[in-house]
Every structure is written in C-alpha cells, then in structure tokens.
Structure 1
C-alpha cells in the first residue's frame, strides 16, 4: 500500500527544505510548482490551451509567468480561466506520478492544499510552520519581492494557525536539526503503521 502524505505551508515556511528531508528518507516527492513549470515549458501540456485562451502569454513557445501576471493584473476573470486550464493538467501530472513511483510513502508538495480543499485526498497532511518573524525574514532575504508583495501573497493564503489546526502533523522549521527530527519521527510513525 502507498501512503499519500500531503505537504503544505505558507510562503517562507521552509517547505522545499522539508520536502528534501522526506526525499532523503526514501519518500517519493511530487512538487506542484515543479509540475506547473513542466506544463508551462516549451512542449508542455499547458502551452496549447493557454495559447488559445491567452495568446499574449506565450513567449518563445512557452507560457510566460511574467505575461500571466500582467494579464491577471489587467483582467479580474483571468485567474479563474487560467486555473480552469492548469488545475486539471496538474491533477493528471500528480496522478501519473503516483501511478509510476514505487515508494511506501508518496509526499505531495502542494502550496495551496487546504485552500483548494484537497486534504480529503490524503492519508495525512503535514504543515510546515515557522514563527512569523522568521517567515518574513526568509522571504525578504531572497530579494525577489517587496514587503508589499509578500503581504499580498500572505493575504491570499490561509493563516498559518488555521493550517496547523487542520494538520495531522506540524513540522516547525526553526532549525534544520529540529525540522529533520520531526520529519524522521513522522516517517518512522507512518512506516510502523504500514508494517503493522
């Protein structure tokens, strides 16, 4: 039996690092953001339907995220239309991944897992969390967005406290060692139940 473990957490909480820890312990890890990048790349499954709906979003045979941001900013209905194209393709990518991997635990890294109402599709959900000050510091240290952009993204995400309350497991990423110990405990606990 394959155990499906959802992994989520708000921006800057350490989700990518935590996903790598699960992978190091032999879990198969699927990343929703990476799936979208594949779909948007030249030859990706999202290029043709996006070209039909938003021809101005295609640059050099690929979907341009920058152009999509401009389209979304100019048209309030665009995001819903983009999601209607992309979400089913991401779902197919995820299903294909689950069907092809041979691992006892499959970790599905989905940033907006709760926001999309997807928690019922998993055996358990892990929320990655960190203190708000740490979250802010991490995101702004990347140098890729302003404080206003960070706040806008946070405003669209479910509050961390609510995610933690809905989770089966919480990994606090205050230090790497602490996070790793929590991940190891989660994986050991799941493997125990699978072997029982």
Structure 2
C-alpha cells in the first residue's frame, strides 16, 4: 500500500479537494476531523486539555475560541497543546492505516505536513494551491477572521511556493470546481496505475 500526504495552506481549498478524493472512492484520513472528534463532546483529550488549559472545555467539548486565545501567539503554549494532541492523532492514523492496508493507496490529509516534517514517512506529497488573492478572499470571509489573524496564520505556515516546490503532485484550485475535480480524477487514475491496480 502506498501512502500519500495531502496538504495546503489555509484557504487553498484542501477540504474541497479531500472531499473530491473521497467521492472517487479513495480512503482518506482527515487529521483535522480527527482532532475535532478527539476534542468534541466526550472526546478522550478533554481531561488532559482541561488540566493544562483550565476553563477551555465544557459539555460541548473544547471551546475553540478560549483554547485559541490561550495558545495563539504563545509558542510554548501551542507546543504544550501539540504534545497532547499529536500523539492521539498519530494513534488514530495508525488504526486507519491498518484498517485500509489492502488498498492500492491511501491519502493522509495533514494541514501542517511540511511544518511537522511528516513528508519523510510518505510515498509522495499532494499540495493544493491557489493564487494568493483567492486564498486571502476565501479566508477573510470566515467568521471571526481578521487581516491580522490571517497574516499570523500564514506566517506560521510553510510558504505556498515552497510547498509547491517540494510537492510530487499539485492540485490547482484557482480555477472552476469542475476543472479541479478533473485534476483529482486524473491523479486518482495516475496513483492507481503506479501501484498496478
């Protein structure tokens, strides 16, 4: 089984591309969705997060605004949160890989793939990219987003140009939905052909 990573900076359309891969029948592990599940109502990370960041959890799980305020702009606090979250996501990913080991290939959707050096353990990397003006436009319409917050997030991420340079495959989302879907279908056929299935 081949394992590919899917990544892209904020606002590049990675979630839409991930959904397209799923519709093509590809087994895809969504790290962000897993984090939401682990931090949601009854999630197994709630006790550890509450112990480290008091007042940031409740019956509905993590209060993302409160937790965000506690870690955003505070590198040490962010690292403390990552030390709680990353091992749990890694465990879930291993379960996913065992469950789908008979597949020709699977995709791991990992937003901070290059930032965490996760590409070293993969057979290839797929980067989702769009023009900077479109990225900015998409992100700034999100609830609670500001220009300052957007700039800070982008600053923490590996630049899009660098991601594209290091990619094995690139999906451009600065075009129409249909054109993006056509790129995804071509790539699924290509990756399937590489494994001989």
**What TM-score does the superposition give when structure 2 sets the normalisation length?**
0.91
Aligned to 1:25: 24
2:49, 2:56 within 8 Å by CA — same for their partners in 1? yes
Q: Structure 1: which 5+ runs fail to align?
A: none
Contact 2:115 2:157 in 1 (8 A): yes
Could you list the runs of 5+ residues in structure 2 that have no partner in the other structure? Answer: none
Aligned to 2:78: 79
| Structure 1 residue 143: Cα displacement | 4.1
Which residue of structure 1 aligns with residue 189 of structure 2?
188
Deviation at 1:52, TM superposition (A): 2.4
Bigger shift: residues 114-123 or 70-79: 70-79
Q: Residue 74 of structure 1: CA displacement?
A: 8.3
In the alignment of these two chains, the number of paired residues is 195
Kindly report the root-mean-square deviation, in angstroms, between the aligned alpha carbons of the 2 structures.
Answer: 1.8
Look up the SS of the partner of 1:55 in the other structure: coil
Q: 1:104 Cα shift?
A: 2.7
Matched ranges for 1:1-196 at <5 A: 2-60=1-59, 62-73=61-72, 76-101=75-100, 103-174=103-174, 175-195=176-196
How far apart, in 1, do the equivalents of 2:68 and 2:112 lie?
18
Query: Which TM-score applies when normalising by structure 1?
Result: 0.92
Question: Once structures 1 and 2 are overlaid, which stretch shifts more, 180-189 or 4-13?
Answer: 180-189
Distance 1:95 1:18, change over 3 A: same
* Distance (Å, rounded) in 1 between the aligned partners of 2:56 and 2:117: 28
1:19 Cα offset (Å): 0.5
**Which deviations, in whole Å up to 9, do the C-alpha atoms of 1:78-127 show, x marking residues without a partner?**
11111111110011111111222354321111110000000012111100
CA deviation map 1:135-188 (0-9, x unaligned): 111112334411221111111111100000000001111221221222112111
